[in-house]
Structure 1
Amino acid sequence: MLSGFRLANRPESSYQYFLKMCRSNEKPNELTFAVLISTFLNTNFRFLVPQLHCRVISSGLNLNDSLGSSLMRGYLDLGDHKGVCRVFDEIPVKDIAPWNVLILGYMESGLTCEARRVFNSMPEKNAFSWKIGESAATKIYKLEEDHPAVYSMLCKIHGEREVWSTVTKMKKMIKSKCARKQKAGSWIESA
C-alpha cells in the first residue's frame, strides 16, 4: 500500500496508512520505513524524517542499505548534512548506495573536495559513483581551470575508468594551457 501511495505521489495518505498500521499493532519493518521516507522526499512531510529515524532506532531495526540510504536522502532533503553523516556512520555494512548518497550530498552542497575525498575512500565504485566523481572534478575544473591539480584529478578519474580517449584529451589540454606539475622542493633549499 505504501509503495502505491508513493507512486501516486500521495504522502499524506501514506502517512495516515502508516499510523493506522502502527495502531493495529502491525510492526513496521525496514522496508516499510524506507518506502515511507522515500514518499516524503521533496514534500511538506520531509520534516518527519528525524522522527521516523528515532522510531527506527527505538524499534531496534537494522540500518540496512535500503533504509540507511532512504534516511540519508531524507536528511539531505532537509539540508541536515550532520544527519546524513550520522546515518552513514550507523550503517554497519555499507554497499554502494549509501556511499553514493553521501557523495551526492556533498556535491549538491558544493563541497566538491569532500565529495572527492569520500569517493577516493570508497571501497567499491559503480558507474553511478564514477559519474558523481566526474561531476565533482568538472565542477572544480570550472572553478579553477588553471590549476594543474584539476587536470591531474580528471586524468586519474578517467584513467581508472579506462577512458583513454578522455585521458589523452586532458593531457593535450594540460600542454595547451601550459599547466605543469609543481616540482617538489624542500624548505632547506630555500634557506
Structure 2
Amino acid sequence: MLFRMLTKHLQKHSNTLAHIIQSYAQCKQLSNGKLLHAQLITSAYPSSTYLTNHLLSMYARCGQLGYAYKLFDEMPQRNLVSWTAMISGFSQNSEFSESIATFCEMCASGESPNQFAFSSVIQACSSLKSVQVGKQIHCLALKVGFSYELFVGSNLADMYSKCGSIFEACMVFEEMPSKDEVSWNSMIHGYVKNGYNQEALVAFKKMLTEDITIDQHLLCSTLCACGPFKAYNLGKSLHSFIIKLGFEQHISVINALTDMYCKLGDMDSGSRFLKINPKGTNIISYTSLIDGYVESDQIEKAFSIFIELKRQRIEPNEFTFSSLIKACANHATLEQGAQLHALVIKHNLDQDPFVSSIIVDMYGKCGLLDHSLQAFERIFKPSEDFESS
C-alpha cells in the first residue's frame, strides 16, 4: 500500500524515486527495492534509462547480479552509466571475468569508458592477476587520457604490484600528477609484498614530505617493511608516532607492531600487546608470536602461546600450524608433530599445500618415511582418507 501511494504521488519526480532507490542500495534493503521496482512496473510508470541505471546499481550492490543482468539485457537503450554499473557490479561481486567481458563488450559497442569503468575493470584484472589484459586496458586508458586520473592510476599501480610487475607499478605511480593516501599505500604495500622492503621505507620517507594524511593502513604497510629490513630504530619511531596519533588500539596496527617486533627478534616488545590485552589481539598476532619464538628457537614459548590461543578460543589457521610443525621438524619431535597433524585434519587444513609440505618434511626428518610418503600422496589424492599406522 505504501509503495502504491508513493508511486502515485511521485510519477513526475524521477529524481526523488532515484534517491529512494539509491538509499535502498546503500542500506542493502533488497526487499524494499524489489517492492518499489515491482510497483513501478505494475503502475505502468514510464520506463527511463535514468531510473533503470539506479535499479541496476541497487541490485548489483545487493549481490543480485541475476536481476541486474536481466534488467540490463532488457534495456531498450543503454548509456555509459548502464555499462559502468554492470562492470562495477560484476567486479564488486567477485565475477571478475564477467567484469572484463562486459568492459570489452562496451568498448565494442562504441561506448568510451570513463574513469569508474576503468577502475573497476582494472580491479578485476588485479584479482585475477591478469597482467596481460591489464596492460591492454592500461594502453586504452593512455589513449583516452584516463591513465593519470587518481583512481585509475592508483588501481593500475596496485594491479601491477599484485601481479609482481613492480617496475611497471613504480612507473605508473611516478607518472601520476597527484597522489593521495590510497595511492601511496598501494605502492608501499606493493613494495612490501614483492620483497622490496628498503624501497617501501624510502617511499614512506618521501611521502612524509608531501601533504598526505597518514592513516593506520599506511602505518601498517610501513611497519611490515621494518621487520624484514631489520629497521629497528625506524620501527621504534613509528611505534611512538602511532601512540601520538592514537592508533595503538586498532587491531590491524597491533598485528603489524607484533609482527614487526617478532621479525626484529625483540620478543619482549612483541609479546607486550598480548600481555596487556589478550582479548584485544587475534589469530594474526598469536601466529606472529609463535613464528617469532620458532625462529628464535624458543620452542616451549611457541607452544605456550598456542595453548593460550586455545584458551582464548581463537581458531588457529594454516600459518599457525605451519610454524609449529616446522619447529617439530627442526627438532625431530615426533609426538608433538603427530598431535599437530591430527589437529590439522580436524580443522580441515590437511589439503593446504603449504601445511602439507611441512608435514611431509616433519615426518621425513623424524625418520618416518612411510608417513611422509602418505602425507605427500594425500596432497594429490584429496578423496582418500589419511591412513595412520
TM-score range, shorter chain: 0.7 to 0.9
Stretches of structure 1 lacking an aligned partner (at least 5 in a row):
142-149, 174-191
Match for residue 184 of structure 1?
none
SS at structure 1 position matched to 2:111: coil
Deviation at 1:104, TM superposition (A): 0.8
Is residue 2:243 matched to residue 1:162? yes
The answer to whether the Cα contact below 8 Å between 1:33 and 1:67 also exists between their aligned partners in 2 is yes
Deviation at 1:159, TM superposition (A): 2.0
Compared CA separation, residues 23 and 10, structure 1 to 2 (3 A): same
Aligned mate of 2:163, from 68, 71, 78: 78
Stretches of structure 2 lacking an aligned partner (at least 5 in a row):
1-85, 249-253, 255-260, 267-389
Match for residue 48 of structure 1?
133
Which structure's CA Rg is the greater one? 2
Deviation at 1:161, TM superposition (A): 2.4
- RMSD over aligned Cα atoms: 2.3
Deviation at 1:154, TM superposition (A): 1.7
Is residue 2:273 matched to residue 1:153? no
Is residue 2:219 matched to residue 1:130? yes
Compared CA separation, residues 66 and 12, structure 1 to 2 (3 A): same
The answer to whether the Cα contact below 8 Å between 2:166 and 2:190 also exists between their aligned partners in 1 is yes
Higher RCO (C-alpha under 8 Å, 6+ residues apart): 1
Q: Which amino acid aligns with 2:154?
A: S
Q: What do residues 14-44 of structure 1 show as CA deviations (whole Å, max 9, x unaligned)?
A: 2221122112221101111110010122326
Deviation at 1:88, TM superposition (A): 0.3
Compared CA separation, residues 67 and 117, structure 1 to 2 (3 A): same
Q: What do residues 38-60 of structure 1 show as CA deviations (whole Å, max 9, x unaligned)?
A: 01223264421111111001112
Aligned mate of 1:3, from 65, 88, 107: 88
1:108-119 matches, within 5 Å, as 108-119=193-204
Compared CA separation, residues 45 and 23, structure 1 to 2 (3 A): same
Match for residue 106 of structure 1?
191
Rounded Cα–Cα distance in structure 2 between residues aligned with 1:161 and 1:56: 38
Q: What do residues 133-188 of structure 1 show as CA deviations (whole Å, max 9, x unaligned)?
A: 112112234xxxxxxxx33212211122235999xxx9xx7xxxxxxxxxxxxxxx
Rounded Cα–Cα distance in structure 1 between residues aligned with 2:236 and 2:97: 48
Rounded Cα–Cα distance in structure 2 between residues aligned with 1:139 and 1:44: 25
